[in-house]
Amino acid sequence: MKKEIKTDNAPQAIGPYSQAIEANSFVFASGQIAIDPATGNLDTGLGVEQQTRQVLNNLKAVLEAAGSSMAKVVKCTVFLQDLNDYAAMNAVYGEFFPAPYPARAAVEVARLPKDVKVEIEAIAIK
């Protein structure tokens, strides 16, 4: 069974995708970027630390709407505009996840939606 997860506490999907999908006790959260869900605004002038914090707060809201949490994340993928931002992103990322930490991949990409510096997607258990 497949169930759509939606919350007003994270940015709304801006295309033909869901904020998250629950399937077989797993939550598959779409990539989050640093859009403020309260205003719908994105400040691309923010540094990677501030963008990462907003991204992870958005991800947390989606997971909580699904009945999950950051502590139940088993896998993340981090997309960075510049891999030189890895240490700064990682410092903020570490504040959001308790041990044992999720498995993770971090990659540099040519471009991200709305020219953000970071996007993070996750898989969690319910």
**Cα gap 61→63, rounded to integer Å:** 5
CATH dotted code for 2-125: 3.30.1330.40
DSSP 67: T
Kindly report, residue by residue over 15-73, the tens digit of the pLDDT. Answer: 899 999 999 999 999 999 999 999 999 987 899 999 999 999 999 999 999 999 999 99
**Cα gap 90→56, rounded to integer Å:** 12
Q: What is the pLDDT of residue 90?
A: 98
Q: What is the pLDDT of residue 1?
A: 87
CA–chain centroid gap for 89, Å, is 12
Which strand (E) or helix (H) includes residue 3? strand 2-5
Which strand (E) or helix (H) includes residue 106? strand 103-108
Kindly report, residue by residue over 61-93, the tens digit of the pLDDT. Answer: 999 999 999 999 999 999 999 999 999 999 999
Residue type, 65: A
